[in-house]
A and B are shown apart, each in its own frame.
Chain A
């Protein structure tokens, strides 16, 4: 589903953010990307959505080589990928319902489709009763659920989450993780960057550890800091 083949990325005037990264993530996997701050986790995710370009190597996403995609095809790539962030990135002047509906409207989905999908997805994330609230009338955990609903409403092949629980307390974090696991069970490939040990340790999923832009560990059913399985 996602394959990095000897990928390197250097931002202007800094040391390499990713160095010779080769990784293969299969359909339906749940993968953690871990590593200290500045190790290249966010860069890894931004290369998948082509928000950044690789300097070297090939990146294959859903059967396409991202570097070869002409700019006009990039939006169609992104329709296959849902994204969730630490800071939610909701639209503050729109209701919960409208935030999720927006993601479908702007890719030209029919009204009928929007009306049938949005309540269903909000029910799934446990916000069926709060569809008319504004984001600032929700807790952090609830806001992140809206963001997950927005990322998932178009049933993407891939869900990327960049420290989605970074701002949340442990109980709320557990709730979000259960939600991501559930989405993963529907068949969506989930890639989550984090530096929260307990989150990784509790899930026992595949762990890819980055350090200074290189993959130092790639372990099935790993925990955050362990060197040997």
Chain B
């Protein structure tokens, strides 16, 4: 396949402009479909990121207030120790410094957020594995009342809820993405068909004088590819800037109780690359199909 020549680029451009209404329709539906797809991926990342905090069997986190006194913390510590092994299997303590480094890691892409926080504002926490999973809500209610406690999360349950909510959202979004994608493909095929029809005289002359099949097809295929790419870039922009809103649909942040679920720009960028690749592929395949179907050689 030849490198796109000025001819090919000019033809692609004029094809796109000739049928502006259809082109816009194709691009917009492509964008809607890919936004739904991107949204699913963003939410999945948010949920994954949340569940990462609850590895090693941790099922309950007791967040102490950032202002909790040393006595309050060591009191809590002793109480927890006294409950081992009958009620609690094991616990470990995450102090302010550790919490701060964890926070900085998670929010590494968001320097503004890191700037307004500091190590003194971090809540220290105890991360515990209860002896029996069923007793976790009773334990949580008990610790919730104690002095110096900010919040008690027992994410086993929170995560179950989050995962359930995510699953529903995901299924709805995937159905939307799939259905709208079918429409987008139909529109891409249709714009290419119209472009081929509008240029049937040129195509006939090209065949007559011995232009290669690729030379004839490439402008039409580039047109479909462009529609897919532009739709994908719009979808990417929407999901990127709305990523934290999308994340918050699945629940609040079980790690820092006062913060929503969070997706780093880096992770959102990867999603964007994926969405753009899907858009380009769908555009290219749709126009490839149209070219095979309507551009007999």
Residues of A participating in the B interface, judged by any CB pair closer than 8 Å: 49, 71-72, 75-81, 83, 89, 91-92, 102-103, 105-108, 150, 154
Residues of B participating in the A interface, judged by any CB pair closer than 8 Å: 2, 5, 7, 201-202, 204-213, 215-216, 297
Q: How far is the CB of A114 from chain B (nearest CB, A)?
A: 11
| Known contacts A71-B297, A108-B2, A108-B5, A102 near B205 by CB under 8 Å | yes
Bound together, the chains give a CA A92 to CA B205 distance in angstroms of 12
Task: Choose from A75, A89, A107 the contact partner of B213 (Cβ within 8 Å).
Answer: A75
Q: Are the CB atoms of B210 and A72 closer together than 8 Å?
A: no
Q: Are the CB atoms of B211 and A75 closer together than 8 Å?
A: yes
Q: Which 10 A-B pairs have the closest CB atoms?
A: A78-B210, A79-B210, A106-B211, A75-B210, A103-B209, A106-B206, A75-B212, A105-B7, A83-B208, A107-B210
Q: Are the CB atoms of B205 and A89 closer together than 8 Å?
A: yes
B216 / chain A contacts, CB cutoff of 8 Å: 106
Nearest residue, chain A, Cβ from B211:
A106
Q: Are the CB atoms of A72 and B213 closer together than 8 Å?
A: yes
Q: Are the CB atoms of B205 and A91 closer together than 8 Å?
A: yes
A154 / chain B contacts, CB cutoff of 8 Å: 209
Q: How far is the CB of B209 from chain A (nearest CB, A)?
A: 4
Q: Are the CB atoms of B208 and A78 closer together than 8 Å?
A: yes
Nearest residue, chain B, Cβ from A99:
B205
Q: Are the CB atoms of B213 and A91 closer together than 8 Å?
A: no
Q: Are the CB atoms of B210 and A77 closer together than 8 Å?
A: yes
Bound together, the chains give a CA A181 to CA B200 distance in angstroms of 32
Nearest residue, chain B, Cβ from A154:
B209
| Known contacts A91-B202, A106-B215, A150 near B209 by CB under 8 Å | yes
A79 / chain B contacts, CB cutoff of 8 Å: 209-210
Q: Are the CB atoms of B201 and A91 closer together than 8 Å?
A: yes
A75 / chain B contacts, CB cutoff of 8 Å: 207, 210-213
B213 / chain A contacts, CB cutoff of 8 Å: 71-72, 75
10 contacts between A and B (CB under 8 A): A71-B213, A75-B213, A76-B210, A77-B210, A78-B209, A106-B205, A106-B216, A107-B212, A108-B5, A150-B209
Q: How far is the CB of A207 from chain B (nearest CB, A)?
A: 26
Nearest residue, chain A, Cβ from B206:
A106
Interface centre among B205, B208, B211 (most CB of A within 10 A): B208
B2 / chain A contacts, CB cutoff of 8 Å: 108
Q: How far is the CB of B197 from chain A (nearest CB, A)?
A: 15
Q: How far is the CB of B203 from chain A (nearest CB, A)?
A: 10
A71 / chain B contacts, CB cutoff of 8 Å: 213, 297
